[in-house]
Amino acid sequence: MPSTAHRSKVLKGVTDIQDNFVLYLSEWKNRIPALRSWVLNIHVTTDSLPKHAAYEAKTGAYTEAWSKYENATINLHLPDDPEIETEELEEIAIHELMHILLSPWNEGWQMAMGKRLTEEMKDVLLIMEEQACTRLACGYMRTKHPKHTEEVKA
């Protein structure tokens, strides 16, 4: 989970978190020109992560993107009694948007490698993508919150 140099407001409850998550996605989609034409489908739920999710996300968020159609689905799975700091939620939103920006890279690897792309290779690509999204999200956060910090985990 992101750590911050200062405390931000704590959001409680699914509705409050969902409303703010949608606002952050909208704000950052507009701030990043490459995302403006994309259609985002947003799902916020207290259901557990599905087994088909690419990995068990620490945040409970994951994104599926189809760059050919500029369409993405962003999923945020929350615990039954959720609470989260606004700055952390904003960074999660940006992190998921970074997955959209990187989706052509990921799709390119899959197309280029075809059947030679092993599960081990997919795992390495996923780790690299996660690290890139975390670092990019932190950088974008600093454009709005200059004192923002993020501990990048390998």
Weakly modelled stretches of the chain, pLDDT under 50: 1-5, 54, 152-154
Per the listing, tokens 């689905």 go with: 73
Phi, psi of 6, rounded to the nearest 5 degrees: -140, 160
Q: Could you tell me which CATH class the domain 10-144 is placed in?
A: alpha beta
Q: Rounded CA gap, 105 and 131, in Å?
A: 14
| DSSP letters for 12-50 | ESHHHHHHHHHHHHHHHHHHSGGGTT-EEEEEEESSPPP
Which pLDDT score is estimated for 87?
93
In the beta sheet, which residues pair with residue 44? 76
Which pLDDT score is estimated for 4?
44
Indicate the pTM of the whole model.
Answer: 0.87
Q: What is the DSSP code (8-state) at residue 53?
A: S
Which pLDDT score is estimated for 25?
98
Query: CA 33, 99, 28 angle in degrees (round to 5)?
Result: 40
For residue 147, the Cα-to-chain-centroid distance in whole angstroms is 21
Domain boundaries, the chain: 10-144
Segment 54-93, tens digit of pLDDT:
455 556 899 999 999 999 999 999 988 999 999 999 999 9
For residue 115, give Cα distances in angstroms to 67, 106, 120, 121, 122: 21, 15, 13, 11, 11
Which pLDDT score is estimated for 126?
87
Local structure of 85: helix, strand or coil: strand
